Amino acid sequence: MTSTPTVDVMVTVVHEPLDILKRTLVGCVNQEYPKGRFTVYVLDDGHRDEVRELATSLGCAYLRRPDRSLHAKAGNLNHALKRSSGELLALFDVDHVPVTSFLKETVGFFQDPTVAFVQTPHHFYNPDIFQRNLHLEQELKNEQALFFRMVQSGRNRHNRAFFAGSSGLFRRSPLEEIGGFQTQTISEDLYTI
């Protein structure tokens, strides 16, 4: 693998508002990574023409699978996997905006040929359900911080970290070897790795 492998950046969308998608796509297309070495794909399971127009206006590839009833998000990702060719795949949910240095800071982990995926922490600017319902936004840490700082780090020490559904990268070849994203459950993220 070269020091700048090709990357397919995939953003899954169904019926989320366009303004949320636009923020995520702007973060994706403005990566500090060599132009021509990454492609941003919008995987539209909502079959909306306005999503296609937004994707095209920002220079993204647009994919719409014919039968969106099969296997939810995993089916959407597997459809895109067959229609893309990057050595790595970076996956984002529609509401996860990557910082512009995301690829620059994560792709290097794949210089180790034994690395199949990299999961980065999720950081949220909106309060989680506990912070909001208890009106303790300033006093309580976001519950995701506990998971990504403590639980996932501990799992990683034992080679047991798992994909959290977004903000992660995969090496294409091992993903293809296992048949793509697992479709037996709606927890395709957890069961794929």
Q: Which residues contact 67 (CB under 8 A, 6 or more apart)?
A: none
The percent of the chain in helix, strand and coil, each rounded to the nearest 5, is 35, 15, 45
For residue 19, indicate whether it is catalytic: no
Question: Could you please report the per-residue DSSP string of 107-174?
Answer: GGGGGSTT--EEEPPP--SS--HHHHHTT-TTTSPPHHHHIIIIIHHHHHHTT-----SSSEEEEHHH
- Residue among 45, 93, 95, 128 flagged as catalytic: 45
For residue 93, indicate whether it is catalytic: no
Sheet with 7-13, strands from edge to edge, namely 61-63, 38-44, 7-13, 88-93, 168-171, 117-119
- Residue among 8, 44, 93, 189 flagged as catalytic: 189
Cβ neighbours, 10 Å, residue 99? 14
Active site residues: 45, 189
